[in-house]
Chains A and B, each alone.
Chain A
């Protein structure tokens, strides 16, 4: 038996197919994964993401601590509730994890890290906390539900406490707001509008049930993966890990190089990598032929070199196969992918593939 979220029994009762995900027993779908995917793109769906770990970081020097630990710069966050996406790096520039950090106040930041990396993240956060007098508190008492889709905020808002709902509906993208032990943020992993809602674990099943009654479709990790891939968002452990730097992972935009005297962990390695030229890059692939891209398939770029598919799936919105691949930096607009011994043709595109329900690449 794996780890279970406060919603595990709810998923089983709803007929979910349960799979192991990073040590957690999680719903992969409740029926048709493709219907769940379309439900989010067209209306509203919800995901149990309680396996992800919320960590509260507090202390007088917490800002300095995070400016040392994160490749993006929390000094950009000046308004309460504002969120920042960042990588946390080893000294050699490899990605320990990708995460979201919220600026709550000058002495309190809230971080959300991946489930499968939780223990090493907490070890790393704690290993550096002492130097800055920061307390590291994982919030195992919180559940998290992502409601996503064009109608998600409107449907979910009716179920929040009125004062919280009013503030939540005012949130701009990548902002969050707290109230009564809940935290609502306008963030997500689908490419659609919506909220990620943290709430006390004992209230999760009730809230999930009310969301369902109001017409929000329960969605499993299967749809979560096809949605995030269409949205061009990386998955830790597939598209980047400790053996790859953000520069090789399509995440150069998350590195805050300025101010130049901010000495974040991994900076030296990234600077050297940039000076020598980054050999590989992460790109989007659209399979021209029939078939399905899958991670670890070999990519061949004629006259340039080889690479590898890091994520691949069938895109329900495009009704074509799409993927992310790490390829030589000189790769231009075409490549071939080896699928069961045959070379199939793919075009190299710039993700995202889909945003806000619209296809964003040429087909």
Chain B
């Protein structure tokens, strides 16, 4: 079973989002996603300063098997990308909700965050997907 932390928000496409104290939103892929993809070998994340739109494919993670788009949960400006993934893409497998984060976005509209799936809704979406 995959781990779905209760304090995060999610997209059906398996991204997670965390609202930080400074108002930015950290984004990564869920434990379920990293398990399904298998060993991650490459991550392409947007550079700081780039504008992204909610629902936009703005990053790519690649496992040995396949490449997978990562969609932005919010609209805003990328303020940081996880530079450690360049040398250690396996951080996404090892710690998907921690060291394996992908990018941090300053959202245009903070209220949008609360429209994302909560843990319960994401778990329901996962259950629906596997049935």
What is the interface of chain A, defined by CB distance below 8 A to chain B?
A: 17, 28-29, 32-34, 222, 226, 290-292, 294, 313-314, 316, 321, 340
Is the CB–CB distance between B62 and A33 below 8 Å?
Answer: no
Interface residues as binary, B86-111 with A (CB distance below 8 Å gives 1, 0 otherwise): 10000000000000000000000000
B1 at the interface (CB under 8 A from A): no
Q: Which residue of A lies closest to B90 (CB)?
A: A34
Most chain A CB atoms below 10 A, which of B44, B62, B64, B66: B64
Given the complex, which residues of A lie within 8 Å of B66, measured CB to CB?
294
Q: Which residue of B lies closest to A220 (CB)?
A: B38
A6 to B38, CA, bound (A): 25
Given the complex, which residues of B lie within 8 Å of A292, measured CB to CB?
41-42, 62, 67
Given the complex, which residues of A lie within 8 Å of B123, measured CB to CB?
none
Given the complex, which residues of B lie within 8 Å of A17, measured CB to CB?
38
**In the complex, what's the smallest C-beta–C-beta distance from B57 to chain A, in angstroms?**
10
B125 at the interface (CB under 8 A from A): no
Given the complex, which residues of B lie within 8 Å of A222, measured CB to CB?
38, 64-65
Is the CB–CB distance between B67 and A34 below 8 Å?
Answer: no
B39 at the interface (CB under 8 A from A): yes
A118 to B107, CA, bound (A): 55
Given contacts A34-B64, A316-B64, contact A29 B38 (CB under 8 A): yes
Is the CB–CB distance between B64 and A33 below 8 Å?
Answer: yes
B60 at the interface (CB under 8 A from A): yes
What is the interface of chain B, defined by CB distance below 8 A to chain A?
A: 38-39, 41-42, 44, 60, 62, 64-67, 86
Given the complex, which residues of B lie within 8 Å of A294, measured CB to CB?
66-67
- What are 7 A-B pairs at a CB distance below 8 A? A33-B64, A34-B64, A291-B42, A292-B41, A294-B66, A294-B67, A314-B42
The one of B39, B44, B67 in contact with A33, judged by C-beta atoms closer than 8 angstroms, is B39
**In the complex, what's the smallest C-beta–C-beta distance from B92 to chain A, in angstroms?**
13
With A222-B65, A290-B42 already in contact, 14 other A-B pairs whose C-beta atoms are closer than 8 Å:
A28-B38, A290-B86, A291-B44, A291-B62, A292-B41, A292-B42, A294-B66, A294-B67, A313-B64, A314-B64, A316-B64, A321-B42, A340-B44, A340-B60
A294 to B42, CA, bound (A): 13
Is the CB–CB distance between A34 and B42 below 8 Å?
Answer: no
A340 to B46, CA, bound (A): 14
A342 to B42, CA, bound (A): 16
Is the CB–CB distance between A28 and B65 below 8 Å?
Answer: yes
A340 to B69, CA, bound (A): 11
Given the complex, which residues of A lie within 8 Å of B65, measured CB to CB?
28, 33, 222
Given contacts A222-B65, A292-B62, contact A32 B42 (CB under 8 A): no
A294 to B41, CA, bound (A): 13
Name the 10 nearest CB pairs between A and B, nearest first: A314-B41, A34-B39, A292-B62, A33-B64, A314-B64, A33-B39, A292-B42, A33-B38, A32-B39, A29-B38
Is the CB–CB distance between A314 and B38 below 8 Å?
Answer: no
**In the complex, what's the smallest C-beta–C-beta distance from B12 to chain A, in angstroms?**
21
Given the complex, which residues of B lie within 8 Å of A32, measured CB to CB?
38-39
A177 to B10, CA, bound (A): 57
A314 to B37, CA, bound (A): 14
A28 to B66, CA, bound (A): 13
Q: Which residue of B lies closest to A340 (CB)?
A: B60
Q: Which residue of B lies closest to A34 (CB)?
A: B39
**In the complex, what's the smallest C-beta–C-beta distance from B96 to chain A, in angstroms?**
15
Given the complex, which residues of A lie within 8 Å of B41, measured CB to CB?
292, 314
**In the complex, what's the smallest C-beta–C-beta distance from B82 to chain A, in angstroms?**
15
A321 to B39, CA, bound (A): 14
A34 to B41, CA, bound (A): 10
**In the complex, what's the smallest C-beta–C-beta distance from A47 to chain B, in angstroms?**
16
Q: Which residue of B lies closest to A37 (CB)?
A: B64
**In the complex, what's the smallest C-beta–C-beta distance from A30 to chain B, in angstroms?**
11
**In the complex, what's the smallest C-beta–C-beta distance from A36 to chain B, in angstroms?**
10
A222 to B64, CA, bound (A): 8
Q: Which residue of B lies closest to A319 (CB)?
A: B41
Given the complex, which residues of A lie within 8 Å of B60, measured CB to CB?
340
Is the CB–CB distance between B67 and A226 below 8 Å?
Answer: no
Most chain B CB atoms below 10 A, which of A28, A29, A32, A34: A34
A46 to B52, CA, bound (A): 46
A34 to B39, CA, bound (A): 7
A34 to B38, CA, bound (A): 9
A292 to B89, CA, bound (A): 13
**In the complex, what's the smallest C-beta–C-beta distance from A213 to chain B, in angstroms?**
26
A34 to B64, CA, bound (A): 8
Given the complex, which residues of A lie within 8 Å of B44, measured CB to CB?
291, 340
A231 to B92, CA, bound (A): 28
A222 to B44, CA, bound (A): 22
